[in-house]
Amino acid sequence: MIRKTACLLFLTVILCTGCKRVLNREEAERSLKVLNSNLVNFISLSSEKPEIQGLYFLLDEPASPLTLTQNRNFFKRGTSSDSPAKLKGIYQWYPGKKLFEKKDTSKQLVLLFPLEEKPGDSARFVLSEFESQDCKSRPEFPVTIKADMFINGLKKLTIDHQAEVQDNLPLHVSGLVAGDGYKLIYHLNRTRQEESGTIDLDLILKANGFELCSFGANAKIGYSRQGYYFRYISFQLKIFEHEITGELDYSKIDPTASDYIDLFNRYSRIGIRETAGPEVGNIILGETGNGELLDYFVKFANGDKVLLSSYIPMLKKILNYKY
């Protein structure tokens, strides 16, 4: 009798304290809030770094020679993308006039500007090597970038990017963006066998020796005169304490079908889980706005569906990427 009771007790304890495979809705919502909070903190801390503020300014300001405008060329139309050598020199930003004025000649492109967030800080961006090639994508694809960002005379950021273009599309890409205590490393490789091929992409962000996030994607693609389109894609995103994995079989999803939502959900699997831990939920497509609009939902273990943007607005932007 005692033995039986002991066994029963033992089994009960094991069941209650054993690994949870799937979180219930309440636990899952807490987990998602943690993920969102980590993302927000990460973006907030990153955007406070002066070198990131400086880079953002140069890429966003329409008057900047580096702005990623709608033009096909990396450098603004009118500043002679055919002859990047003409852009070499030392330029000073004048906030009142909202333009860069050339101050001196140089063998490099040097941009001097104050930081908007901290006007007392001075930034110096030095582009020592740059080369781009015509590509089906916009703008022209950079094949060499060597650049440094200095804040108040101290080097804060290094960019080292190399790529090879073939058939007007990137074939191999590798790069490093390194700052004080952190670095981002990325690689892309593309293959082609007649009208089919693959794309493999990986990206790692490390800070102070720890891996903050990593992303890996493997895709099967088809080639067309316009470039390429996705047939199948699988990806894994590890970010802080969570992991998002997905598989989408685009070849079976007809974008013009009346049952598009069913097709999408049938031929895709996107799951969120805690790293090496329990499942949080799955991401599915559903109707919203009285059936007028489509949006992504998190489906919990109990079948409840809640808009993904309620918990993690940023993930929605990533999932909107079109192929």
Partner 1 sequence: MKTKTIYLFLLAGILLISVTSCDWFKSDGGENTDPDETIGKIDNYWKVSSSGYSNATLTIVDNDDGNVVANIAYDGDNYEVEGKITDKGIYDYVYSNGDHSKPFTLVKFDASVGDKWEFKVGNQTVVREVVKKSETDDTPYGFYYIKTIDVKETVPEGIEVKNGESQVRQIVWKFNHKFGFISATVTTVNGKIVTVSQYATNANE
Q: Per rule CB under 8 A, is residue 44 in the interface with partner 1?
A: no
Q: Does 270 bind partner 1 (CB under 8 A)?
A: no
Residue 174 vs 309, nearer CB to partner 1: 309
# residues contacting partner 1 (CB under 8 A): 29
Q: By the 8 A CB rule, do 185 and 203 touch?
A: yes
Structural contact between residues 130 and 160, judged by C-beta atoms closer than 8 angstroms? no
User: Which of 215, 260 has the CB closer to partner 1?
Assistant: 260
Among the listed residues 19, 105, 208, 321, the single contact to partner 1 using CB under 8 A: 321
Under DSSP, the state recorded for 22 is: B
Instruction: Quickly tell me which residue has 């970038």 as its tokens.
Output: 145
CB of 229 to partner 1, least distance (A): 4
| 290 binds partner 1, rule: CB under 8 A | no
Residue 323 interacts with partner 1 (CB under 8 A)?
yes
194: contact with partner 1 by CB under 8 A: no
Quote the least distance from Cβ 169 to partner 1, whole Å: 9
Q: Of the ranges 24-32, 44-52, 157-165, 249-257, which one interacts with partner 1 (CB under 8 A)?
A: 249-257
Q: Closest separation between CB of residue 38 and partner 1, Å?
A: 24
The token pair that represents 86 in the structure block: 């003409």
**Closer Cβ to partner 1, 209 or 255, answer by number:** 255
* Other CB atoms within 10 Å distance of the CB of residue 13: 10
Rounded CA-CA distance 52/145 in Å is 17
Q: Which of 256, 289, 290, 303 binds partner 1 (CB under 8 A)?
A: 256
> What single DSSP character describes residue 218?
E
| Minimum distance from residue 122 beta carbon to partner 1 (Å) | 33
Q: How far is the CB of 279 from partner 1 (least distance, A)?
A: 22
Contact residue for partner 1 among 25, 49, 136, 187 (CB under 8 A): 136
C-alpha distances in Å from residue 21, one per residue of 4, 11, 274, 278, 279: 28, 18, 10, 4, 6
Residues 273 and 240: their CA atoms lie apart, in Å, by 11
Cβ distance to partner 1 smaller for residue 41 or 310: 310
> CB of 237 within 8 A of CB of 243?
yes
The interface mask with partner 1, positions 137-166, x = CB under 8 A, is xx----------------------------
Regarding 37 and contact with partner 1 (CB under 8 A), the answer is: no
Judge whether 252 and 267 are in contact, CB under 8 Å: yes
Under rule CB under 8 A, residue 228 binds partner 1: yes
Q: Which two tokens stand for residue 2?
A: 């005692």
Q: Which residue type occupies 41?
A: N
Please identify which residue in 222, 262, 275, 304 interacts with partner 1, judged by CB under 8 A. Answer: 222
Burial 98-110 (b: 16+ CB within 10 A, else e): eebeeeeeeebbb
Q: How far apart are CA 297 and CA 302, in angstroms?
A: 14
Start-to-end Cα distance in the chain:
65
Q: Which residues bind partner 1 (CB under 8 A)?
A: 70, 136-138, 222-229, 251, 254-256, 260, 264, 285, 293-296, 316, 319-323
